[in-house]
Amino acid sequence: MSKGMRKGLTSYGDPGFSLFLRKAFIKAAGYSDDALDRPIVGIANTYSDFNPCHGNVPRLVEAVKRGVMLNGGLPMEFPTISIHESFAHPTSMFLRNLMAIDTEEMIRSQPMDSVVLIGGCDKTIPAQLMGAASADVPAIVLPVGPMLVGHYQGEMLGACTDCRRLWGKHRAGEMDADEIERVNERLAPTQGTCMVMGTASTMACIAEALGMALPGSAAIPTTHADRIRSAEDTGKQAVALTKSGPKPSEVLTQAAFRNAMTVLQAIGGSTNGLVHLTAVAGRRGIKIDLDEFDRIGRAVPVLLDLKPSGQHYMEHFHWAGGLPRLMREIAGDLDLTARTVAGGTLKDYLDEAEEVRGQTVIRSCAKPLKKTGAMATLRGNLAPRGAVIKQSAASPELMKHTGRAVVFESVEDMTDRIDDPKLDVNPGDVLVLRNAGPKGAPGMPEAGYLPIPKKLLQQGVKDMVRISDARMSGTAFGTIVLHITPEAAVGGPLALVKSGDRIRLDVPERRIELLVDEAELARRRAAFKAPPPPPGSDRGYAGLFQRTVLQADQGCDFDFCVPGRVAAGRRAAE
Ligand code: FES
């Protein structure tokens, strides 16, 4: 197979002419024949003024290029789209698959022998892993790294667990407008990704656990010299990958995904991580089994004392030894023979782990933060294809709870009514949000963290059972059931709930049930009318999304991006 500049020639009907023309144009940029004969390492640049989390990307690109050249390769930087959580309408998840397609096709269509994927903000690393899994050119992930912590009145602050907590205090009248403004300036004190175990940190850890990023690279803060050195090392390793791989198909195996599920449970990872991992696995034709994930969670405890499940932040995780040190604690639950982009196996990552005396961030299995894993998967007549709860960030007293449903038809309906003093709601009720799933909203927004109604907040209520077909930020805390599948908009049972019905949550038994008899449910099912598709769904990307997005248990990928899916029949896939 051709390499370097000769790879993937543009089709003019004459390969010799195609190469001649390509070289003529690249020489316009001043490259020598010596440079053009080197292995080419593509560098996906996801810098954007709309993505402050990726503010350090230019420095990382420079360091990756240095590493590539130190190892005899030719670095070629190229842009892809970039997505920031707070700058994407209607939600970043709506655009993840677009970025995955962009990444895949840019890797496939340009002449690179390997690629460095620089990502970080929540949906970017998932999109890059999805694209790389499909393109199957040797690829290595370089996370941008987490922010440093902020400080306010002697207290450490972290985006965005404390964003939500302090905004809640403001809504409850415990923090005035001046105070909340000052907090706003301190919550994200540096560039980089959110420094709690939100989705960005989770996905950086997942990339490392999958063997797709260098050891220790997930937790190094954005601002540190170690981050730059890690970028240089990544560039060097990307050149090694051009020679003998491994390719993503050799790294992203069943064993690697099981390792990633195990790490996801042990770090107290984001529920979004489960959806993204499912999507990446789907690109390799591998199914993430929710029941297996739950079994892993029963056996593997949460070991990482990090917000929102614990107390510390990502920079403390880094100084405690990072993910390699944590993985050493659960070595017996990992397949250490899994290959990695570093050229060996996962065992090498563990062997490199630094032993930090006296650290309290990474717990041992004998003294875990939580006795079971971060997440549990639920089933029942409300969620025939599953739902998930982050039990490590939930209130223990609500893990078995039966309450009266208070239903919101949509995100807009919830926004309009949640703080209405006339809303009929009590602390023991179950807040229900529907039509916020992959097709319903669209894009399955992070609306699953329904705010506690203001009047209850003012009574001191801190948590309630909340259920939805939406997602939730990995940084959030609460007894919140998410990803109810199938979603309401396609006729899932969540569409049948009425305010006043009783709902039972039983996390120890892994059940979520609507306590309405089957005859009544059948009547409601017969009367069900699907809501109209979201505005704009008649064309373009929104139309493509509406027609082809899969449900949460399938990773919310587009059906035509999953190998064999369309051939097997779109209807059967639903
Ligand atoms: Fe970018 Fe949190 S907003 S990682």
Express each pLDDT in 365-397 by its tens digit.
999 999 999 999 999 999 999 999 999 889 999
Structure confidence at residue 171 (pLDDT): 86
Minimal CA–CA distance to 217: which of 233, 236, 197? 233
Residue 317 has pLDDT above 70, yes or no: yes
Residue 539 has pLDDT above 90, yes or no: yes
Query: How much is the pTM?
Result: 0.96
Residues 490-527 pLDDT 10s: 999 999 999 999 999 999 999 999 999 999 999 999 99
27's CB contacts (< 8 A; 6+ apart) are: none
Share of the chain above pLDDT 70, in %: 99
- pLDDT score of 381: 97
Mean pLDDT of 224-249: 97
Atom of ligand 1 nearest to the CA of 159: 2
- 122 close to ligand 1 (CB < 6 Angstrom): yes
pLDDT tens-place string over residues 115-130: 999 999 999 999 999 9
pLDDT above 80 (res 1) = no
H or E element: which one contains 380? strand 375-380
CB atoms within 10 A of CB 225: 8
Instruction: Please give the number of the atom of ligand 1 that sits closest to the Cα of 86.
Output: 3
Atom in ligand 1 nearest the alpha carbon of residue 199: 4
Ligand 1 binding pocket includes 487 (Cβ within 6 Å): no
- Calculate mean pLDDT across residues 555-564: 96
Q: Best substitution site from 193, 222, 276, 314 to test ligand 1's pocket, by max atoms within 8 Å of Cβ?
A: 193
Atom of ligand 1 nearest to the CA of 475: 2
What pLDDT was estimated at residue 565?
77
Distance 57 CA to ligand 1 centre (A): 14
- From the CB of 556, is ligand 1 less than 6 Å away? no
Q: Do strands 155-157 and 375-380 pair parallel, antiparallel, or not at all (unpaired)? A: unpaired
pLDDT recorded at residue 393: 85
- Among 149-158, 313-322, 508-517, whose mean pLDDT is lowest? 149-158
Better-predicted residue by pLDDT, 570 or 428? 428
d(CA 340, CA 348): 9
For the stretch 275-287, pLDDT in tens is: 999 999 999 999 9
**pLDDT band with cut points at 50, 70 and 90 for residue 257:** very high
Nearest CA to ligand 1 atom 3: 85
Q: Which atom of ligand 1 is nearest to the CA of 51?
A: 1
- Determine the pLDDT at residue 161: 84
Residues 19-70: tens digit of each pLDDT: 999 999 999 999 999 999 999 999 999 999 999 999 999 999 999 999 999 9
Q: How confident is the model at residue 476 (pLDDT cuts 50, 70, 90)?
A: confident
For position 21, what pLDDT does the model report?
A: 96
Distance CA 191, CA 253 (A): 33
Share of the chain above pLDDT 90, in %: 93
Cα-based angle 245, 8, 565 (whole degrees, multiple of 5): 75
pLDDT greater than 70 at residue 210: yes
Say how many residues make up the chain. Answer: 574
pLDDT at 574: 53
Which domains are seen in the chain, by residue range?
1-37 (no CATH), 38-148+190-351 (3.40.50.2300), 150-184 (no CATH), 376-525 (3.50.30.80)
Closest atom, ligand 1, to C-alpha of 120:
4
Verify whether ligand 1 is closer than 6 Å to residue 144 (CB atom): no
Confidence check: pLDDT of 424 > 90:
yes
Q: Is 193 in the pocket of ligand 1 (CB under 6 A)?
A: yes
Q: What is the CA radius of gyration of the chain?
A: 24
Mean pLDDT across the chain? 95
Ligand 1 atom at minimum distance from 84 CA: 1
Closest C-alpha to ligand 1, atom 2:
194
> What distance in Å separates the CA atoms of residue 488 and residue 265, rounded to the nearest whole number?
28
CB-CB contact of 140 with 252 (8 Å): no
Determine if ligand 1 sits within 6 Å of the CB of residue 194. yes
Q: Which helix (H) or strand (E) holds 514?
A: strand 511-514
Greatest Cα pair distance, the chain, in angstroms, is 77
Q: 476: Cβ below 6 Å to ligand 1?
A: no
How far away, in angstroms, is 244 Cα from ligand 1 center? 35
Report CA(36)–ligand 1 centroid distance (Å).
37
* Bridge pairing between strands 383-390 and 155-157: unpaired
| Amino acid letter for position 362 | I
Instruction: Give the pair of three-digit tokens for residue 100.
Output: 């995955």
Confidence band, pLDDT 50/70/90 cuts, at residue 168: confident
Beta strands at 480-482 and 511-514: parallel, antiparallel or unpaired: unpaired
Tokens representing 171 are 């809504």
What pLDDT is stored for residue 473 in this prediction? 84
Note the pLDDT of residue 104. 98
Quick one: DSSP state of residue 337? T
Question: Is the Cβ atom of 201 under 6 angstroms away from ligand 1?
Answer: no
**Can you tell me the distance from the alpha carbon of 537 to that of 440, in angstroms, rounded to the nearest whole number?**
11
Residue 85 near ligand 1, beta carbon < 6 Å = yes
* pLDDT at 346 > cutoff 90: yes
Q: How far is the centre of ligand 1, averaged over its atoms, from the C-alpha of 369 (Å)?
A: 25
Q: Determine the average pLDDT of the residues in 407-421.
A: 96
Look at residues 206, 341, 220, 331 and name the one whose alpha carbon lies nearest to residue 275.
206
CA of 160 to the centre of ligand 1 (A): 8
Atom 1, ligand 1: residue with shortest CA distance: 121
**Residue 569 pLDDT:** 60
pLDDT of residue 48: 98
